[in-house]
């Protein structure tokens, strides 16, 4: 609903307690949804670690207030949750980067082969051949590696006219 103790704790940066949702009317939509599910109380505790905000919310089926001493324990739990999210994000980013590098390494050999074919076909240097591959990739909305793989697969046959057209040399 965008409202409730968790949202308020996230906005304020302070713990928020609703000791009895029957009498606490601060968040009407949240209150109705919680009571329909049998919840009577909750406490939300926010924490931030390296810019990642988390909120741990504890729920109860009867009126209840978190003991003052337990608040620090829940805050530590919220901080550890934020740290865990940061680590998970860093791991996912590292995995994505590793996959991109694997793809780049795998396609590099094919791109180099295609460059050689294009250089031979058009009697041009590597920079110009790479420009042709890049342009062909953009014009066909295909990845450079896929374009290179096709040129290598057909060994350039049937591609000379298209490549020359891209260079503006006619066909």
Output the average pLDDT for the chain: 89
Half-sphere exposure of 122 (CA within 13 A, CB side): 30
Domains defined for the chain, CATH in brackets? 5-92 (3.30.450.40), 96-167 (no CATH)
Long-range contacts of 83-90 (CB under 8 A, 24+ apart): 83/49, 85/52, 85/54, 86/49, 86/50, 86/52, 89/52
C-alpha–C-alpha distance, residues 21 and 33, integer Å: 10
Indicate the pTM of the whole model. 0.58
Tokens for 50?
Answer: 């390296």
- Can you give the pLDDT at residue 14? 96
Query: What tens digit of pLDDT does each residue of 106-136 get?
Result: 888 899 999 999 998 889 999 999 998 998 8
Q: Of how many residues is the chain composed?
A: 171
pLDDT grade, residue 57 (50/70/90)? Answer: very high
- Can you give the pLDDT at residue 2? 83
**Phi-psi group of 170: left, alpha or beta (phi > 0 → left; psi -120 to 50 → alpha; rest → beta):** left
Coil, strand or helix: which one is 18? strand
């Amino acid at each position: 609903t965008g409202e409730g103790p968790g949202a308020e704790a996230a906005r304020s940066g302070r713990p928020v307690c609703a000791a009895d949702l029957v009498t606490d009317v601060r968040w009407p939509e949240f209150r109705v949804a919680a009571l329909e599910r049998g919840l009577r109380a909750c406490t939300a505790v926010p924490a931030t670690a390296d810019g990642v905000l988390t909120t741990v919310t504890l729920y109860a089926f009867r009126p209840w207030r978190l003991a003052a001493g337990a608040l620090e324990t829940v805050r530590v739990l919220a901080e550890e949750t934020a740290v865990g999210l940061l680590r998970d994000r860093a791991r996912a980013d590292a995995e994505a980067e590793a996959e991109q590098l694997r793809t780049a390494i795998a396609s590099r050999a094919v791109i180099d082969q295609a460059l050689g074919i294009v250089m031979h076909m058009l009697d041009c240097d590597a920079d110009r051949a790479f420009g042709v591959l890049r342009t062909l990739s953009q014009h066909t909305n295909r990845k450079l590696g896929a374009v290179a793989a096709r040129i290598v697969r057909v060994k350039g046959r049937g591609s000379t006219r298209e490549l020359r057209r891209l260079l503006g040399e006619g066909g």
